[in-house]
Amino acid sequence: MIYVVIGFLWLSVCLYVILGGADFGAGIVELMTKKKNRKYTEKIMYESIAPVWEANHMWLIIAIVILFVGFPEIYTTLSTYLHIPLVLMLVGIIARGTAFTFRHYDAVEDQWQIIYTQIFYYASLLTPFFLGLIAAATVSQSINPDANNFLDLYVFSWLNWFGVAVGLFTVSLCAYLASIFSLRETSDRLELELMINKSHQTMIFVVITGLLVFLAAYLSDIPLTKWIFSKYLGVMSISFATVALGLILRAMHKKKLLPVRALAGFQIIMILVAATYQHNPDIILLGNGQRLSLIEHIASLKTISALGWALLLGSLFILPFLFYLMFSFSKASKK
């Protein structure tokens, strides 16, 4: 049953990065758009994320619950040494959701709309940045339980050049996903061209920040290149992600947009596989040489069994209705 629990944890993380990432990216794409085109972009992004934006955070909740119940030592380590970026990330999620709601549904339109919009923009930018910082801290061996001062324990465990680079890469991925996902929400040729241009720009940002991650890893003595390219699985994952990018560019050129969302999601999965497969099932690499594993550091077998059955049975009720919700609000399904 432990592999069922790990499978659901992996699935929830992947879906949150893909769907939640596209959600965060909506605000980033708007922020990156020239002011004269922001009304068009706002309309397109609203069509893309408004119906299901709140449901996307379900995947984060599931991942947190799985860690809390099934892997208490891992959960405790994350929530202790990374409590600052975790709190900032959660504040960003709340601020962004609140601003999005009042921005579109406030009964009175006044100067507050400008404030709501700015909160929406910058919360959308900073939240995935902190998510990237947290992800980088788990593999960079920067969390050192043996440190003897506050800064080393709770600040420099996540605030370092590698973490900043991964944070920027995460922001770029979110903007890329949002621009790709929004292509099928455009209503005319001008809107489509606008979003295709945004997709091209975000692709460039992804490549630049990806290279920055490798540079920061090299300067920080993190063997990221070895982790990814030392085995066939890593090479194949990066190759598949590159091929998917080529297919997306071809689909955009021919204006055949049906497969672009699936291809973009596939790219993200391949990137996650390439970044994590080498030290799997170790989920946290500590600075004192220890590792926290999804196989070794688990709750009691009875707890894992109960959690696994709860996830299996719950998915039978939740997943079909969730995907039906997403399909129902898809513009393509209405045509």
281-293 tens-digit pLDDT: 899 999 888 999 9
- d(C-alpha 2, C-alpha 307), whole Å: 9
What number is the average pLDDT over the span 55-70?
89
Residues 186, 245 contacting (CB under 8 angstroms):
no
| Six token digits for residue 129 | 């940045």
pTM attached to this predicted model:
0.91
Least confident of 20-24, 45-49, 70-74: 45-49
> Long-range contacts made by residues 101-106, C-beta under 8 angstroms, separation at least 24?
104/46, 104/50
Q: Which helix (H) or strand (E) holds 42?
A: helix 38-49
- d(C-alpha 95, C-alpha 101), whole Å: 10
Mean pLDDT across the chain, nearest whole number?
A: 88
State yes or no: pLDDT of 54 exceeds 70.
no
State yes or no: pLDDT of 139 exceeds 50.
yes
- d(C-alpha 269, C-alpha 13), whole Å: 10
- d(C-alpha 237, C-alpha 143), whole Å: 28
Least confident of 41-50, 120-129, 164-173, 300-309: 41-50
Which residues form the domain of 17?
2-334
pLDDT of residue 335: 46
- d(C-alpha 247, C-alpha 262), whole Å: 11
- d(C-alpha 55, C-alpha 49), whole Å: 10
Count of domains in the chain?
1
pLDDT confidence band for 133 (50 / 70 / 90): very high
Q: Which helix (H) or strand (E) holds 282?
A: strand 282-285
Residue 247 CB contacts under 8 Å (≥ 6 apart), including other chains: 259, 263
* 209 to 6, 203, 204, 335: CA distances (angstroms): 29, 10, 9, 38
- d(C-alpha 68, C-alpha 101), whole Å: 30
Dump pLDDT digits (tens) for 308-329.
999 999 888 887 877 777 666 6
pLDDT of residue 187: 73
Q: How far is CA 105 from the centre of its chain?
A: 26
pLDDT of residue 22: 84
Residues 292, 283 contacting (CB under 8 angstroms):
yes
